[in-house]
Amino acid sequence: MFVEDVTLENDNEARHFDGFASVAGLKAEGQTSLLSQLKGYDNLRLLTGHAVQHLLGSDTDTRQIAGVMLDNGQCFTADTILLAAGAMHSPRLLQDYLNVSGLSDTLPVAKLVGRYFKRHILTAMLTFSLGPKTDALRKTTAWFHDRFPHSSVQPLGFSEDVLTTLIPRIVPRFIARWLGKRAYGFFLQTEEGSHPDNRVVAKNQTTMGLPKLDYDLKRLVNAKQEHVQMVRNFQSTLSKAGCISFTKSIPLAGTAHACGTLISGNDPQTSVVDAAGKVHGIDNVYVVDGSIMPRISRVNPALTIYAWSLRIADQLLQPTIIKKGGQ
């Protein structure tokens, strides 16, 4: 997020803001909004460079998580565990624990962990018209259309030099730069509805010993259809306005919006975490990342994920719902 008047005085940064860090510190990104503010707190230790490898069960009750083990063998214990490794890794950690502890045979949620992986179906579009484009801030709107209720279009916040890099190398660079100056970039995205068979499978559930993402867009026929029609419609509207557009569909490997996999809901038969973020059937594990999203909506997910996480943190600070006196 930008403070606009300050940003526009920094033209170069303004035109590069989408996907790039701000060396002038103009963005309210993690470093500014969180990490720098946490410096100096004696009761907080941030450990980087080592991944959590396992959740550790308590000696007396498998439905209690005692802590975590890192990939270097170090262990940490806590009364309350917040799982926030993202929609690809959080389900793997939980699946592994459920398998090792034997809870996968008895806990109803076990069959749902990792399922309903979802992302946006994405198409990138470059649109050219004759006049050079001079906008500093481009990624300021999202457009909707009633005929495409799960879809949105947003400008890419890229300047002409970034857009130029998206033009195929076969085009001579001086032509690409000329075109880049006259281009707008767009992201066209459609919520894909999600399917239970699109899922993350932990490594000890596969024969090869590797974690796996089982995902097939063919399982989501309606969403795919809506996306294709929306792209065609937008392209034809732009052509009526004198613009010529080229599209590239973004494959699964290019997704930036991995969600689902530990979906929230009231019923342990159909969801993994409850409305308080707690895993159904496990006493002290709360999920605070994009895994919990039962729907992904037609726009980008980060603010919803932050809102969920802040809400869970607020709830955990209320003495009534803290299970074991954790902080």
Contact residues toward ligand FAD (CB under 6 A) are: 19, 51-52, 84-87, 89, 256-257, 289-290, 300-303, 305
Q: How many residues does the chain have?
A: 327
How many Å apart are CA 85 and CA 309, to the nearest integer? 13
* CB of 141 vs ligand FAD, minimal distance in Å: 13
Cα–Cα distances in Å, from 52 out to 57, 114, 287? 14, 18, 15
Which residue is associated with the tokens 């940003």? 7
Residues 119 and 258: beta-carbon distance below 8 Å: yes
Beta carbon nearer to ligand FAD, 85 or 179 = 85
DSSP letters along 208-258, please?
TSS-EEE--GGG-HHHHHHHHHHHHHHHHHHHHTT-EEEEEEE-GGG-S--
Beta carbon nearer to ligand FAD, 228 or 252 = 252
Beta carbon nearer to ligand FAD, 84 or 124 = 84
Beta carbon nearer to ligand FAD, 256 or 317 = 256
How many Å apart are CA 199 and CA 202, to the nearest integer? 10
* CB of 245 vs ligand FAD, minimal distance in Å: 22
* CB of 241 vs ligand FAD, minimal distance in Å: 26
* CB of 86 vs ligand FAD, minimal distance in Å: 3
* CB of 320 vs ligand FAD, minimal distance in Å: 26
How many Å apart are CA 180 and CA 11, to the nearest integer? 18
* CB of 20 vs ligand FAD, minimal distance in Å: 9
* CB of 107 vs ligand FAD, minimal distance in Å: 21
Beta carbon nearer to ligand FAD, 128 or 192 = 192
Helix (H) or strand (E) holding 317: helix 302-317
Beta carbon nearer to ligand FAD, 90 or 128 = 90
Beta carbon nearer to ligand FAD, 54 or 219 = 54
**CB-neighbour burial class of residue 119 (10 A; exposed 0-12, middle 13-18, buried 19+):** buried
**CA 67 remoteness from chain centre:** 25
